[in-house]
Homo-oligomer: A and B are copies of this chain.
Amino acid sequence: MSEKIRLYVDTPLGEGQSVLLSRDQAHYLFGVMRQQVGAYVSLFNGRDGEWQAEVVEAGKRKGILLCTKLTAPLRMPPDLWLLFAPIKKARTDFIVEKAVEMGARAIAPVITEYTNSERVRQDRLQAHALEAAEQCGATYVPQVQAAGRLDRLLADWDPDRRILFADESRAGTLDALIGAPGPWAILIGPEGGFSSWERETLLKMPQVVPIALGPRILRADTAAVAAMTLWQHSIGDWQGGGA
């Protein structure tokens, strides 16, 4: 299997546009992947779609590519945010990766009462999101927000943005999703669950739709994928079987 090489770049892409690689990208492309002048790779920047580009200069620490043709238009994921309480480093990385694959438009770590808040490194998580986008064929890269406190976020919450709230104790159904497009957020709690105050506050908000995710206790990363699957399947960009 020769997989297509995809690289995220932070420069404009378009017909005839030259792109200067970063040192790390040149090392990866020419050193690790052994590509040479004349090879084709795919580039995307989160704004201009995916471009086929030809290697025109290849050095140890630099390289230049030339955009030759648009291979996929920009495809924005639906207006869905993933809010999650940061957990252990590896699992937090994992949630970010999954949010990109599953098609979130923004990713926001939220500090809840029961969050054991190690410091969340926004730049590292954003880099992780870029890598996931390279892997999964996305043309858009969700923004990773700075970590914020849940109570403050909720106090100032957009009345038009609904919240799908994965609540172990509530047997909600998905019916509330059907025919309710528009902005949404999915909220995944920490492994210890939400505090009573948080749960009560959420359940009082008219934007909140609680759903249960089966009879077993899901880890936060599993719950994130499961909730996003139900949402994408019901009203997101998986409708009509994907495509």
**Interface residue ranges, A against B (CB under 8 Å):** 1, 3, 75, 97-98, 100-103, 114, 135-138, 170-174, 192-193, 211-219, 222, 225-226, 229-230, 232-233, 236-238, 240-243
> CA A97 – CA B220 in complex, angstroms?
13
Question: Once the chains bind, are A192 and B242 in contact (CB under 8 Å)?
Answer: no
Residues of chain B lying within 8 A (CB to CB) of residue A240? 171, 173
Question: Once the chains bind, are B212 and A242 in contact (CB under 8 Å)?
Answer: yes
Which of B193, B214, B237 contacts A232 (CB under 8 A)? B214
Residues of chain B lying within 8 A (CB to CB) of residue A222? 98, 101-102, 225
26 A–B pairs (Cβ distance < 8 Å), ordered by A = A97-B219, A101-B216, A101-B217, A101-B219, A102-B214, A103-B214, A103-B216, A135-B217, A136-B218, A171-B240, A171-B241, A171-B243, A172-B241, A173-B241, A213-B229, A213-B242, A214-B237, A214-B238, A215-B237, A215-B242, A215-B243, A222-B225, A225-B226, A226-B226, A226-B229, A229-B229
> CA A217 – CA B101 in complex, angstroms?
7
Residue from A136, A138, A211, A236 having most chain B Cβ neighbours under 10 A: A136
Number of copies: 2
CB distance from A221 to the nearest CB of B (A): 9
Majority SS of interface residues in chain A? Answer: loop
> CA A241 – CA B168 in complex, angstroms?
10
Residues of chain B lying within 8 A (CB to CB) of residue A171? 240-243
> CA A211 – CA B222 in complex, angstroms?
20
Which of B136, B193, B226, B230 contacts A102 (CB under 8 A)? B226
Question: Once the chains bind, are B241 and A211 in contact (CB under 8 Å)?
Answer: yes
Q: Which residue of B lies closest to A241 (CB)?
A: B171
Other A-B pairs, 19, CB within 8 Å; known A1-B114, A136-B216: A101-B216, A101-B218, A101-B219, A102-B214, A103-B214, A103-B215, A136-B217, A137-B216, A137-B217, A171-B242, A172-B241, A212-B241, A212-B243, A213-B242, A214-B238, A222-B225, A225-B226, A225-B229, A226-B229
